[in-house]
Amino acid sequence: MSVEPPLASSPAPSFPCRVVVAVQWGDVDMMQHVNNVVFFRWFETARTTYFAEVKMNELLGEGVYPILASVRCDYRAQLRHPGRISVECSTTRVGRSSSTQVYRVVDVESGQVAAEGEGTWVCFDYRAQKSKVLPGDVVAALERFEGRALR
């Protein structure tokens, strides 16, 4: 498996959100490595942990919550069971009603980056079934958590 470096234009996030996860036996496919779809579940674990850390539920109120608009993953190295990984998340962009986050999966034992990804979520009003402008207090909470301006 060849490993390509990140694009030069990619930001160098600090990854303020880190979750350590055990690689489960059920994460492994017939090739004896972690199946590709598992990485998206790990991204979701980091994303929902990030939202809990910034208190997204409290800031957005009832019936409004981020909805995933897109997600991608670039695989860098194989992972196997047993093992532990650190799945990391950082916000890189905040727009009018959406935000982009980057993810990184690192093998805890070796320190090797196993995957990198990116996801875009939209502030979504589930009752009205449409996007909603990101409130200023949400943007402020994201910036506090990241320790930097995002707009």
Runs of H (alpha helix) within the chain: 36-53, 56-60, 136-146
Could you tell me the sign of the dihedral formed by the alpha carbons of 51, 55, 56, 62, in that order?
Answer: positive
pLDDT tens per residue, range 13-34: 789 999 999 999 999 999 999 9
| 3-state secondary structure (DSSP) of residue 112 | coil
pTM: 0.90
Say how far apart CA 77 and CA 107 lie, in whole Å.
9
pLDDT band at 3 (very low <50, low <70, confident <90, very high): very low
Instruction: Could you please state the CATH topology (level 3) that the domain comprising 17-146 is classified under.
Output: Thiol Ester Dehydrase; Chain A (3.10.129)
The arithmetic mean of pLDDT across residues 48-67, rounded, is: 97
